[in-house]
Amino acid sequence: MDKVVYVVSDLHLGPGWLPSGELDPLEDFTADEEFARFLAAIGTTGRPTELVIAGDFLEYCQTLPELGFSSPEDDLGLSEPESIRRTKLILGQSPEIASGHPLVFQALRRFMMEGHSVTIIAGNHDIDLLWDGVWALIFDAIYPPGSCGDLRLVEYSYMIGEGATGRVYIEHGHEHDKANRFGDRMAQPFGIDRFGVRRLKRCWGTLFVDKVYNQLEQERWFIDNVKPIPRVVQLGLRNDFRFTATALGLIARFLLTSGLPPLLGATADEPDAGAPTLNDVMQTIADPDVRASLQAQMADPAFRAEFERTLQSGGTAALAAALSGAAPQLTLDDVTVVTGGEVVLGGGAEEDAYRTAARDVLANEPSLTTVIMGHTHGPIDGYERPIDLPDGRTGYYFNSGTWTRHLKDEGKRSYSWQEIADDDNYTSSYTYIRLEPDAAGAYQATLGNWSG
């Protein structure tokens, strides 16, 4: 066995460029040409090669964002036809709306024409791949008829290696994040809404992107780099008055009316239960950071007016029902897993949720030596912090990082709001993990950074 494997993740291919030539404000991936050159390089070495895309290959949540409001229920998202519309845009089949990323799919197709294989693991941002109709479109775009290689979709995890030791386990990692887990390892990705329409399940993080983050990021492109979510309130937004009021209004409304499961029997089209007052809102918000920020700003009449406008725009009936206790309410900390620096994802605590999960996987399967995840966008070299296991073995946890732009030195320092808004503070690191096989069926992992 001499197949070499490359693992990448978190490309987040979205709508691409607008007909005007400007980048869509919700697009995170701009490395189309670099990724095509990467595939050309690893695909012309004369060795059989497999590319594993370990989740969040495609960015459905921020493509045609208006579709995020289409579901009548919070815990369910898009229908199959809606996911297909987003897929066609990403593939480049709706140029009147945006360009998509046809170059990437052409490069993947050429890669397979060389006889290589591609494995795609579904992540929390591209659970839509599990629709048959969506996968059929992706398959047709990538797979050249007669190819010697395989094109496969994996719903959750994937293992590489045939030896008694040295095997590799790969998953996206979102199930270890409270905000983005589905709870069933993607085994049952669909549900039926109250009108009998089959829809994707929707985790808390996707719901937040659909109902809050997309609107905020269209106005301030850089806020997607602020992690965890409370930093949006605590750090940056206090320096941006008008945006602060809008953001806090959206976040407060979301926390009050978008618990999962959603409102118990209360809908926005019910008879008006009476417009709640700002006092009602202040007293009911469970999240201490949001409540403190509101109290600090509410004395400003302009802030108060903008906050009230944003809050009430979601429908007074649903809001009143939530304030009366009809909806479960989460706090931001309830759904935040901090994995790195003060402002951005990256790096790692001594034992975060992902490393703990990797330890459990390694302990439960003696043939495994390496665990690879993505999701957090922070590349991790597993050899820098080996995992000592109870049976005396040593294991390694790697993270493949992201090909989207990120702040320089993320995870190593804090950034001010002004620095986050400065384009000069951003860079791209095209990280990947190379898995080199040996004659015994084991694999040796190496973290790399493509700069060709």
Local structure of residue 24 (DSSP, 8 states): P
Domains of the chain and any CATH numbers = 4-187+343-450 (3.60.21), 229-335 (no CATH)
Contact between 213 and 207 under an 8 Å Cβ cutoff? The reply is no
Look at residue 339 in the predicted model and tell me its pLDDT: 38
Torsion of CA 246, 252, 255, 256, to 10 degrees: -130
Output the pLDDT for position 425: 85
Determine the pLDDT at residue 346. 38
CB 417 within 8 A of CB 235: yes
CB 221 within 8 A of CB 25: yes
Return the bridge partners of 20, or none.
none
* Residues 192/198, Cβ–Cβ less than 8 Å: yes
Do 231 and 223 form a contact (C-beta atoms < 8 A)?
A: no
Cis peptide before 261 (omega within 30 of 0): yes
Angle between helices 241-257 and 288-297 (to 10 degrees): 140
Assign 3-state DSSP to the chain and report helix, strand, coil percentages, each to 5.
35, 20, 45
Contact present, 91 and 137 (Cβ < 8 Å) = yes
**Model pTM?**
0.85
Question: What integer pLDDT is reported at residue 290 of this predicted model?
Answer: 74
446 vs 143: CA distance, rounded Å: 28
272 and 316 in contact (C-beta within 8 Å)?
A: yes
Q: Which helix (H) or strand (E) holds 395?
A: strand 394-399
Strand-pair partners of 158? 170
pLDDT at res. 208: 81
Q: Give the DSSP per-residue string, 282-300.
A: HHH---HHHHHHHHHHTTS
- Residues 6 or more apart whose Cβ sits within 8 Å of residue 257: 263, 314, 318, 319, 321, 322, 327
- The C-alpha angle 68, 70, 71, rounded to 5 degrees, equals 95
Backbone angles phi, psi at 345, to 5 degrees: -65, 150
* Strands, sheet with 4-8, edge to edge from the N-terminal-most edge strand: 151-154, 117-121, 49-54, 4-8, 430-437, 443-450
Cis peptide before 228 (omega within 30 of 0): yes
* Closest among 402, 212, 427 to 314, alpha carbons compared: 212
β-sheet bridge partners, residue 167: 368
Instruction: Assign 108 to helix, strand or coil.
Output: helix
Q: What is the pLDDT of residue 415?
A: 74
- pLDDT means over runs of 10, the chain (452 residues): 90 98 94 97 94 98 95 91 98 98 98 97 97 98 95 97 94 89 90 96 86 82 65 61 71 67 34 60 74 78 78 68 62 52 40 92 97 94 96 97 82 73 86 94 95 68
In the chain, the N- to C-terminal Cα span, in Å, equals 28
Distance CA 273, CA 317 (A): 5
Q: Where are the beta strands (DSSP E) in 125-222?
A: 151-154, 157-160, 167-171, 190-192, 198-201
At position 422, the amino acid (one-letter code) is D
**CA–CA dist 114, 246 (Å, integer):** 51
pLDDT at residue 435, rounded to an integer? 98
Number of helices (H) and strands (E), helices first, in the chain? 14, 16
Q: Under 8 Å CB-to-CB from 240, ≥6 apart: which residues?
A: 220, 417
Q: What pLDDT is attached to residue 276?
A: 65
If residue 357 lies in a helix (H) or strand (E), which one and from where to where?
A: helix 353-364
